[in-house]
Structure 1
């Protein structure tokens, strides 16, 4: 637990990015070459900022330990990666009509087109699984009716599946490289200003270096551990517990962290991040998996004891040692997994103060409720509240704070469905809980 103390605050990483953007923008203000028309110059600045953001996004998915530390978790780093990539893509779209450079190299325009259209294609591909959230409701019915048409079905088979998208998504660095060299070759301010040229090379080039590291070097230095499937147990209709047995030196981790799990199933190898639900002192590692995607929905049928597995990690900074002496732990559905790890590790890692654990579910019995009840009963300072939303109504911030005397001194740890956590976060903040004391496990980004 000492490993989580003394780390930078979770806003340190975003602040660093903000400072970088302000500093880089200042260079374009103070070192603007004379004779550069304002309109095209602004367009080229927008393009340069786009490349800087896309390069920074590559840094955030490099899987280096210091990146995870700086952003207080690889999940938050991934969220900021997505935000910067989207912002960079929007700025890239704005750059195209604004920029007008007198320099037209033989390869610059082609590289720019490859980078722009390639990234647009990847963005659209990423949106497709969530198309209903961006398509107006009246159009959803007709689109659904087209899904099973022969041509559309063939396209879905060709481009469907997270694993296929993830493999193609690894080309992002090459597309950013194309955009980077387009700017270097066709940027009219660069021949007139060494400061603008070399700052662009350094800031943009750093992202490409990290991309090369991730693709060519990281596989040889990352922490990997050999395991095999020991058991697969269905604990609820859509919930499975996987238990893995180490074949060599086991992975060391803190309760509540997650790991990248590679398993050879009946239909081939699969890769997926799962939250560790076991205590670090157990001879096995356990993962609680809910059937949400194609792989996880059929995982109980695809896995058998003895199948090989490799675990990479651990990752994540979600742990109660970061909290105050008065805490609430809030779990929704499969979001109980990190708290299950905490409860199973209470003997060796008790929280430093009073805790109320709220476990919300729909329809009983709740998975692992009996085990959690039995374990918590041994500790007077940890109290369990089971909330069945079907009979008790949904869990609210008001209900959680009924037994809290000083909300400003409370730490809240949350893991569960996004709509539930969004409402609870707003309610807790509105009642006086400080933002820096609200900690979320962003398992949904995975």
Structure 2
């Protein structure tokens, strides 16, 4: 079982409220004061865990089954932290029946200021994470403040008069999570560029279409090992392109160690990269990340890609060593006028591997897609179909609806999450 948003957040919140209940008289449990205190403990705990998930530690990625899942949970940790912090701010976490004391004594005005700043800090962190209209470069630099802002939240806990002593179970819980969160934030902010696995690559060739580019990079020194379907963070040594940005690797292992990416113009950063990418550019490649791997077995495989979600499947098509490609039916959804660069010839790749490729420029409601999908399920059996998906959420919803109509269970679907922000 892999961790996810629900399987992490729900138990953590329950533990927070349970530990809080131990510290206050049982007669005050059904009061807004107790609920506010529990909400405050939950908010701090969720923020600390969000910092841990943001550090990109390999062990954490393994627990969630991929960095895409880590980032999804990271987002929801922030959202629920803001929800609990809002309740904590509105209702006073205290009553005359409690024996309270501050762990760290601060002057009264400073304590109140830290309390207000902690909520503002959390609100800024979450709004920055969720607002997709902020340019990527601006968003990333603002988001780097998450670590320092978390220190303000920790200062609020330490200076706030509460019934939770540092040596109590709740105090040990908060201290442990706070230390982990601070360590993770410091690692990501100060040590990640030096200690994480990365290597220098040079852009060898660029092939462009109207809205996308195919980039092939060769290692300057050592090469980074990866598996088809994984992704990397690219940081080019050029103004405006230095911020590491995630892209799925569009190649299998090459003899020369080269690595390829397909980048579509979808935002300010990718639009600039599509426009300015030229051979000779040097980039730091941070990799590998992700757990989107083929499950090769006796069952039939259905691949479904939408837009730039085709990228991991390009790498799978080039991975002849995996075998079983002759049992694959590949539905490629795309928008006319936004085709892939000429160097990415899906038809030739699919034909060489015996893959049935079906280009779908008309959307998931088209009869050809629905009929062929239904036919594959009927021929193979709903329990023996393996569906691999990468694309936008709207297409995913349509695929799930078609799975329900044809009796395909949810556990037959494996997907790579399409959006990070």
Query: What TM-score, normalized to structure 1?
Result: 0.82
Q: How far off is 1:394 after superposition?
A: 7.5
Greater Cα shift, 396-405 or 63-72 = 396-405
Query: What TM-score, normalized to structure 2?
Result: 0.87
Question: Residue in 2 aligned with 1:375?
Answer: 349
Question: Residue in 1 aligned with 2:366?
Answer: 393
Q: Following superposition of structure 1 onto structure 2, how do residues 136-147 of structure 1 map, counting pairs within 5 Å?
A: none
Question: Residue in 2 aligned with 1:285?
Answer: 259
Q: How far off is 1:54 after superposition?
A: 1.0
Query: Are the structure 2 counterparts of residues 323 and 21 from structure 1 closer, same or farther at C-alpha, using a change threshold of 3 Å?
Result: farther
Say if 1:276 and 1:337, in contact at 8 Å, map to a contact too.
Answer: yes
Q: How far off is 1:57 after superposition?
A: 1.0
Query: Are the structure 2 counterparts of residues 169 and 395 from structure 1 closer, same or farther at C-alpha, using a change threshold of 3 Å?
Result: farther
Greater Cα shift, 389-398 or 285-294 = 389-398
Q: How far off is 1:324 after superposition?
A: 6.7
Greater Cα shift, 331-340 or 258-267 = 258-267
Q: How far off is 1:205 after superposition?
A: 3.0
Question: Residue in 2 aligned with 1:43?
Answer: 36
In structure 2, stretches of 5+ residues that fail to align are 95-99
Q: Does 1:223 align with 2:226?
A: no
Question: Residue in 2 aligned with 1:411?
Answer: 386
Q: Does 1:331 align with 2:323?
A: no
CA RMSD of aligned residues (A): 2.9
Decide which of 50, 54, 61 is 2:54's aligned counterpart: 61
Q: How far off is 1:444 after superposition?
A: 1.9
Greater Cα shift, 250-259 or 289-298 = 289-298
Q: How far off is 1:267 after superposition?
A: 5.1
Q: How far off is 1:18 after superposition?
A: 3.4
Decide which of 69, 79, 82 is 1:86's aligned counterpart: 79
Say if 1:261 and 1:312, in contact at 8 Å, map to a contact too.
Answer: yes
Question: Residue in 1 aligned with 2:162?
Answer: 188
Decide which of 411, 415, 418 is 1:440's aligned counterpart: 415
Say if 2:101 and 2:163, in contact at 8 Å, map to a contact too.
Answer: no
Q: How far off is 1:383 after superposition?
A: 1.8
Q: How far off is 1:26 after superposition?
A: 2.2
Q: Following superposition of structure 1 onto structure 2, how do residues 333-348 of structure 1 map, counting pairs within 5 Å?
A: 333-345=307-319, 347-348=320-321
Say if 2:235 and 2:241, in contact at 8 Å, map to a contact too.
Answer: no
Q: Does 1:259 align with 2:232?
A: yes
Q: How far off is 1:198 after superposition?
A: 2.0
Decide which of 12, 18, 31 is 1:20's aligned counterpart: 12
Query: Are the structure 2 counterparts of residues 383 and 187 from structure 1 closer, same or farther at C-alpha, using a change threshold of 3 Å?
Result: farther
Say if 1:320 and 1:351, in contact at 8 Å, map to a contact too.
Answer: no
Distance 1:333 1:445 in 2: 16
Query: Are the structure 2 counterparts of residues 242 and 259 from structure 1 closer, same or farther at C-alpha, using a change threshold of 3 Å?
Result: same
Question: Residue in 1 aligned with 2:97?
Answer: none
Q: Does 1:299 align with 2:276?
A: no
Q: How far off is 1:127 after superposition?
A: 4.7
Distance 2:72 2:49 in 1: 13
Distance 2:156 2:218 in 1: 50
Distance 2:266 2:385 in 1: 33
Query: Are the structure 2 counterparts of residues 426 and 87 from structure 1 closer, same or farther at C-alpha, using a change threshold of 3 Å?
Result: farther
Query: Deviation string for 1:88-114 (max 9, x for gaps)?
Result: 011101111112447674243222211
Say if 1:232 and 1:300, in contact at 8 Å, map to a contact too.
Answer: no
Query: Are the structure 2 counterparts of residues 441 and 322 from structure 1 closer, same or farther at C-alpha, using a change threshold of 3 Å?
Result: farther
